[in-house]
A and B are shown apart, each in its own frame.
Chain A
Amino acid sequence: SSELTQDPAVSVALGQTVRITCQGDSLRSYDASWYQQKPGQAPVLVIYGKNNRPSGIPDRFSGSSSGNTASLTITGPQAEDEADYYCHSRDSSGNRVFGGGTKLTVL
């Protein structure tokens, strides 16, 4: 089992704001990164560090962290944002680990 916990599924109405969370004690010490994965495709990095977006990622994606929880916020999600989202960080021993993933449905 992963030391990073994500809700298995989240839904949001088109144009509303959605927050996807990732919980783990190690997040008090390490930053999280976030990945979007659409069916049949490789994951894509959308957020890294405190709140950094790679080139080409829309500014509706943002990241934040408080205590043992890292969050990915999508402000005004579009239909194309429907995907699985994974957080990544370190576990309590410093090994890399992914969260279990959250399936985002845009209604």
Chain B
Amino acid sequence: DTAVSQTPKYLVTQMGNDKSIKCEQNLGHDTMYWYKQDSKKFLKIMFSYNNKELIINETVPNRFSPKSPDKAHLNLHINSLELGDSAVYFCASSQGAGSNSPLHFGNGTRLTVT
């Protein structure tokens, strides 16, 4: 029943490791996003895909690589993790890029880098 689901919910890892977060939506939406929420709770867009095509790539280190195998899935791979990557990462979806429709968020993945 879950509309936007992401795994894992928690991720604790050491500096230098590589990790992935997976996201799936069953809303039939065309557009998916990754947002990062830092310790001050500020939500900042990282990437957006529309029908598997990258349409937004904010100023994010190239250690972060998103991948969308189909329009219902959007994964995020992070290489060489750093302390500053610790945050909550939210996947979201919306009806379509440019449609001005609201975002539907997953439950978030809390990443802690030690």
Whether A associates with B in a native complex is: no
- Interface, chain A (partner B; CB < 8 A): none
- Interface, chain B (partner A; CB < 8 A): none
